[in-house]
Structure 1
């Protein structure tokens, strides 16, 4: 009888404890610094950037003379709703000839857009409004909405 109770209670206890530990989920894609180091300002083009790191995916944006790669990191824990813990935007700007002019990584700290890294040959991305929009919804984005749920 005791063994049967242990066999029933132990798996349930393990499930309860496992559901309490946070689970990390990553949405979108932002190339890391190693990948971005392969891109040469004034030398690479849209085509070579696409070959080296790919084009912005579903969460990214191609607007005018810049490509924006967006990645959000979420934490799921137990019965609580998911929480966005980090969002990064990589902006790669191109000139009229399609050559790279800027490679920048942005994050958000205390509600403000912050440049995390930058290799710039001009004044910076012209799509600052779009960049602010991509980062302004920090913690409010629901990935289930993108998939037709929630």
Structure 2
């Protein structure tokens, strides 16, 4: 009987250990930002878009207005138990170009530099009220005048 009690205690201890290990936070990294050594190879005023892509790789995104720059984004997410994933760290590297496509500036931004942008869901209301499609279709039947076809 003493063997069953100690086996039960060991099994219960192992179960508690596995449950606690399952609650450990998990970290994932998304995206890519070039290292400082790679950025040292870029010379502002000399390098172009093509040489930047060759040296540090293709960016995560690029500027949509006049192709103003390259943006490399890396985010670190933490997931803990049942909670929603949380952004722990984010780094954005912005390489801007002048109108000739030559590197103008290289800047780094962190999570502390960001701003929360509230998204508004705007729905355009129709002026018809709550008329159904069938009612609109049959509502035009009496509005036709034969004189409009002959003049």
TM-score range, shorter chain: 0.5 to 0.7
Which residue, out of 97, 101, 105, partners 1:102?
Answer: 105
- 1:125 alignment counterpart: none
Displacement of 1:65 after TM fit? 1.8
Displacement of 1:4 after TM fit? 4.6
**Is the 1:19–1:77 contact (alpha carbons within 8 Å) kept by the matching residues of 2?**
no
- 1:30 alignment counterpart: 33
Give yes or no for the alignment of 1:136 onto 2:115.
yes
Displacement of 1:79 after TM fit? 2.3
- 2:82 alignment counterpart: 79
Task: Please give the per-residue CA displacement for 1:16-50, whole angstroms capped at 9, x wherever unaligned.
Answer: 12123222111111222222122111121111111
Classify the secondary structure of the residue corresponding to 1:70: strand
Task: Please give the per-residue CA displacement for 1:63-108, whole angstroms capped at 9, x wherever unaligned.
Answer: 1120111111111122222111111110001122221111110113
- Structure 1 unaligned spans of 5+: 114-134, 139-150
- Structure 2 unaligned spans of 5+: 118-151
Classify the secondary structure of the residue corresponding to 1:136: coil
* Separation in 1, partners of 2:49, 2:6: 65
Question: Structure 1 residue runs of 4+, over 4 Å off?
Answer: none
Displacement of 1:54 after TM fit? 0.7
- 1:126 alignment counterpart: none
**Is the 1:73–1:84 contact (alpha carbons within 8 Å) kept by the matching residues of 2?**
yes
* Separation in 2, partners of 1:82, 1:19: 16
* Separation in 2, partners of 1:16, 1:39: 49
Query: How many residues of Structure 1 are paired with residues of Structure 2 in the alignment?
Result: 111
Over 3 Å counting, the alpha-carbon distance change for 1:11 and 1:38 in structure 2 is farther
* Separation in 1, partners of 2:116, 2:26: 21
